[in-house]
Amino acid sequence: MSGFTVKPEPVQVPGLTHLHTGKVRELYATASGELVMVATDRVSAYDWVLPTEIPDKGRLLTALSLWWFERLADLAPSHVLSDAPPPGAPADWKGRTLVCRRLDMVPVECVARGYLTGSGLAEYREGGAVCGVALPAGLEDGSRLDEPVFTPATKAEVGEHDENVSFEAVSAQVGAELAGELRELTLALYGRGREIAEERGVLLADTKFEFGRDAGGRLVLADEVLTPDSSRFWPAEGWAPGRPQPSYDKQIIRDWLTSAESGWDRAADTPPPPLPDEVVERTRAKYVEVYERLTGTPVPFG
């Protein structure tokens, strides 16, 4: 089992219909058919949504996503209409709410990898390839790939992992033309993100984009973009292939959860314990650090 220790009860807002509770986000619809994406302060680790929230995580990741949408706009239009919470929304939705165009979502997790780790590394170790793309021999955990690779996945059911699939499988699912567009756009967006992040001493190991099509059939960038929840960001100064790289935002939590101090046994499939205040504070500081290092600006709230 994994997922939620206690499934959260979504906030009900007059005029909004609650559609979906994700691990760390809530999705609503307005009466006029727009979508309202609300980022919470929930955090997940080892496939569990933890019982302790990280203050300001939702606002930090929403602000970062907006910052990236602006810098990707010449490559792909975004679904974002406004960052103003709808009338009647709770005051604490400010800064962590995006009102978005409702799109016809493409059922493919569009992942780009510039470095080998996670499920890509596991697949490579089994067969020397990821999503059917052969890679050179001798790569290790954290190896930089000569060229970024499009490694799509199918969306998993709640509590399951996305399944890596080949480009040919995506072509069979959505058609060869759209599959080609998804690959080209995913790699272009990744390349822009990697370039900007590296200028700031941050390695973008991999990231996941989601796309939808608007009424005109145009591909539109949806969901969140280039946040620590949709991407792996590594501090460049700590990069050393051959071992797991320190995750910018989750390492503190992972290290505590797997330490004797937590008393938690990941293999026992029991919910993780609450986080100590010190782990919460250090993790919040990491989210602030990622935001400020990438954007070059102080966090836009007190």
Ligand X SMILES: C[C@H](c1ccccc1)n1cc(-c2ncnc(N)c2C#N)cn1
35 binds ligand X, rule: CB under 6 A: yes
For position 25 contacting ligand X by CB under 6 A, the verdict is: yes
Min dist CB 105 to ligand X, Å, is 5
CA dihedral (215, 218, 224, 230) in degrees, to 10, reads 130
Nearer to ligand X, 64 or 103 (CB): 103
Q: Does 103 bind ligand X (CB under 6 A)?
A: yes
CB of residue 185 to ligand X, shortest distance in Å: 16
Q: How far is the CB of 298 from ligand X (least distance, A)?
A: 27
> Is residue 79 involved in binding ligand X (CB under 6 A)?
yes
Euclidean distance between CA atoms 61 and 92, whole angstroms: 15
Indicate the helix (H) or strand (E) that contains 104: strand 104-105
Instruction: Give the pairing of strands 35-39 and 97-100.
Output: antiparallel
Which CB, 24 or 54, lies closer to ligand X? 24
Q: Decide: is 29 part of the binding site for ligand X (CB under 6 A).
A: no
Say how far apart CA 67 and CA 64 lie, in whole Å: 5
Q: Does 41 bind ligand X (CB under 6 A)?
A: no
66 binds ligand X (CB under 6 A): no
Asked if residue 212 binds ligand X (CB under 6 A), the reply is yes
Minimum CB separation of residue 274 from ligand X in Å reads 24
Nearer to ligand X, 109 or 141 (CB): 109
| CB of 65 or CB of 283, closer to ligand X | 65
Among residues 35 and 280, whose Cβ is nearest to ligand X? 35
Q: How far is the CB of 170 from ligand X (least distance, A)?
A: 18
* The one among 18, 71, 102, 254 contacting ligand X by CB under 6 A: 102
Site for ligand X in 218-237 (CB under 6 A): 222-223
Q: How far apart are CA 23 and CA 39, in angstroms?
A: 10
Is there binding between residue 196 and ligand X (CB under 6 A)? no
For the bound state, the minimum distance from the C-beta of residue 27 to ligand X, rounded and expressed in Å, comes to: 4
Of 140, 113, 124, nearest to 206 by C-alpha is: 113
* 77 is an interface residue for ligand X by CB under 6 A: no
Per DSSP, the residues of 149-202 read: EE--EEPPPTTS--EE--HHHHHHHH-HHHHHHHHHHHHHHHHHHHHHHHHTTE
Q: How far apart are CA 249 and CA 234, in angstroms?
A: 9
The DSSP secondary structure of 8-75, one letter per residue, reads --PPP-TTEEEEEE-SSEEEEEETTS-EEEEE-S--EETTEE-SS--TTHHHHHHHHHHHHHHHHTTT
Q: Long-range contacts of range 261-270, CB-CB < 8 Å, 24 or more positions apart? A: 266/46, 269/1, 269/2
Query: Per CB under 6 A, which region of 69-77, 101-109, 199-207, 256-264 contacts ligand X?
Result: 101-109
Q: How far is the CB of 294 from ligand X (least distance, A)?
A: 21
Angle made by CA atoms 204, 206, 212, in degrees to the nearest 5: 115
Out of 16, 36, 37, 182, name the contact with ligand X by CB under 6 A. 37
Q: Which of 22, 118, 246, 271 binds ligand X (CB under 6 A)?
A: 22
Helical packing angle, 176-199 and 57-72, nearest 10°: 110
Binding residues for ligand X, rule: CB under 6 A, are 20, 22, 25, 27, 35, 37, 79, 100-103, 105, 212, 222-223
